[in-house]
Amino acid sequence: MLIPDLKNCEEFIAADGAILRELLHPDKMDIALRYSLAHAIVRPGNTSFPHRLTTSEVYYIIGGEGVMHINNETEKVHAGQAIYIPPHAIQFIHNPGRGDLVFICIVDPAWRAENEEIIGR
């Protein structure tokens, strides 16, 4: 039985600047998954770098509030919402709040560096 615990997952800064912990990734575990699952944090006042994936992605907001940008669309987001990000869409998220913006990222097929392009830094 595989039950990853967030506190045991290594924290790192993703290419888009978010604080990430990978919970499930088929390239790093002996599991039969198409997708990857990660826990992300954007600190107050910070914004992830604009980027795009060749794959689809879903953010599920579990804490805080933010402003999501996908291509030319912008929407306020909050805990309890799921955000679908289509393949090749330019995306970034901003945390205008006073607390952490915390969300889960599901990438299908699983995230790989060669499938991501950072647009701005």
Q: What are 18-50's pLDDT values in tens digits? A: 999 999 999 988 899 999 999 999 999 999 999
In a domain, 15, yes or no: yes
Rounded to whole angstroms, the Cα distance separating 19 from 16 reads 9
Q: Domain range spanning residue 62?
A: 11-118
How distant, in Å, are the alpha carbons of 26, 64, 66, 121 from that of 51? 22, 22, 17, 10
> In the chain, which stretches have pLDDT less than 50?
none
Pairing label, strands 36-42, 116-118: unpaired
Look up the CATH number of the domain holding residue 110: 2.60.120.10
pLDDT at 121: 60
Please give the tally of structural domains in the chain: 1
